[in-house]
Structure 1
């Protein structure tokens, strides 16, 4: 489930927009290369030039009320959609506006009735998700400035959709594991069946860092796409990227990104495509990778595909899942 308003309501997004509008007002953001926008993002975080969120409520109001998107974010989103199309990745609705289901106040009231949050707003204080019954600390989700963080925005979207036994799979950055463990408990208390799939970051130069710190200039998706597509066809590019980032690096790899191994995965992908046979439904190949709640573990499935040596891979599986 995806909605652009959710990431666009986060504090770091709104503060970056404000920085761009104050410090780079003359730029045509729709014409700036996405890599240069990324460098501006790094510069913003290094500068410490972030205004308080209570001074930026007009941004949140436009996003929440109209689905407005800053031109820089729209430019970056179009760029990512083009690359997701090249990779054959399903578009969850990157450019399709969808209002968040509930307002902040109603979400907090629902959680408070279920004793899942502590609300100090009437005293001028914050709102906390309350996981103390599970031995978890309180987690602030609305600050004294009135800004709701990403966890509350997720709950604003999820609460009306949760029914008893509804299955929910959270896919998230492993650095956010504590937040999603609490979120899973809250959603589980509302009757849903929850599973989690944390994704690790790939080290660069032996270090795992967020994009805000930079150091990614040589490994942007643009550069990787040019490197790979100069050496492999469209299908081998799609399959090779999956073999490298899923089967070779695994979910929480400690190994630094290596272009030579990516090239090896591309070569393996071309051989697999050349040898593939159109046999059997893809469900048969995926059956051994099913989780109890019914979703297929992409790491087990891809690892199994990569490990096959004795017989050709099913072309049906490749077309349905990987291409």
Structure 2
């Protein structure tokens, strides 16, 4: 679920990241699993580059090194507001040769947010390129009858699955180039189809139509695809809105860490945010963010960890290897995977909150939640 480095990590971003993290780490205990973070989709896209071009035009030479995520995020909200006021179409901006200082600053700060949340850095600041070019993608899709390429007539390029009832979806404008975010996503995924038995796509539910289309395309190429759509977090007046409209001030990953991290400590914080954003908020977007419930999850996390540590300290005998065998989380993970190849984050994490089940094992907490 790549995020463009133009703003702070909002509560909706935190939720999506934690869902993806639990899904990946739990499933990796059952199967050989890889996690894909796409620089192309997250950074090298028209939305991000349009903002950077705006900054260069309106604030040439500005030093972004002393700004925080919210400072840069306010500039981004202002940019989007101006675009809406002018009725401007989505920008068609060529990729810059180097990472913009504003983007570099956001990614630097995000690295700290990832660390606080206990999520492994997927390569936030490592520039990568997709395995295939846009031209190669068009050639592959055309071979399956899934593309309309009007570039020879100075027209756009479309993803065409109309035979299966999908509307035409533009991949690139008349100018061609590297395509939009959907093209970037397909440039990453299409070459990987033959390398994996299953593909799991975790995404913002607001983008569901695009991901249903991507699933169809990958399935035509032979992949078995599962979709995990995660709803946004309601704040303020209860409406889950895009971060480009603002409304996230004071409700970000940095704000959460400032409120809880030093108070409860890293282990409790990491488990507590997962209990809240995965189990309490669930997959949908009906629940409004409530800090008092998050605080209760922190208290619950502290009790779970204390119990697991006490059970581990009491010892199963035979040293570390013995307790790992006795606390093998695989049977529990398998119960919460069926009928899918991946573990369901909500079912697994909700089980930690159930008063009817045995206490969480130290191995499960260490490997999946901390």
* Range class of TM-score, shorter chain: over 0.9
- Find 2:113's aligned residue among 78, 83, 89: 83
Match of 1:294 in 2: 341
TM normalised by structure 2 equals 0.81
Q: Answer yes or no: is the 8 Å Cα contact 1:272–1:312 preserved in 2.
A: yes
* Residue 155 (structure 1) aligned with residue 186 (structure 2): yes
TM normalised by structure 1 equals 0.92
Q: Answer yes or no: is the 8 Å Cα contact 1:3–1:97 preserved in 2.
A: no
Q: Answer yes or no: is the 8 Å Cα contact 1:169–1:195 preserved in 2.
A: yes
Match of 2:241 in 1: 209
Match of 1:34 in 2: 69
* Residue 119 (structure 1) aligned with residue 149 (structure 2): yes
SS in 2 for 1:163: helix
* Residue 21 (structure 1) aligned with residue 51 (structure 2): no
SS in 2 for 1:14: helix
Specify whether residues 291 and 154 from structure 1 end up closer, same or farther in structure 2 by C-alpha distance, changes over 3 A only. farther
* Whole-angstrom CA distance in 2 between matches of 1:34 and 1:16: 15
* Whole-angstrom CA distance in 2 between matches of 1:213 and 1:11: 18
Q: Answer yes or no: is the 8 Å Cα contact 1:6–1:100 preserved in 2.
A: no
Unaligned ranges ≥5, structure 1: 63-67
- Find 1:167's aligned residue among 181, 192, 198: 198
**TM-fit CA distance, 1:94:** 1.2
**TM-fit CA distance, 1:25:** 1.7
Match of 1:312 in 2: 359
Residues 53-107 of structure 1 show CA distances to partners (whole Å, capped at 9, x for unaligned) of 45x32xx162xxxxx3211112111211211111111222212222111111121
* Whole-angstrom CA distance in 1 between matches of 2:105 and 2:188: 25
* Greater relative contact order (Cα < 8 A, sep 6+): 2
Q: Answer yes or no: is the 8 Å Cα contact 2:157–2:176 preserved in 1.
A: no
**Aligned Cα root-mean-square deviation (Å):** 1.8
* Whole-angstrom CA distance in 1 between matches of 2:219 and 2:90: 34
Tell me the matched-pair count: 315
Match of 1:257 in 2: 289
* Whole-angstrom CA distance in 1 between matches of 2:76 and 2:96: 22
**TM-fit CA distance, 1:140:** 0.7
Residues 134-153 of structure 1 show CA distances to partners (whole Å, capped at 9, x for unaligned) of 21111111112325111111
**TM-fit CA distance, 1:51:** 8.5
Q: Which moved more, 1:174-183 or 1:32-41?
A: 32-41
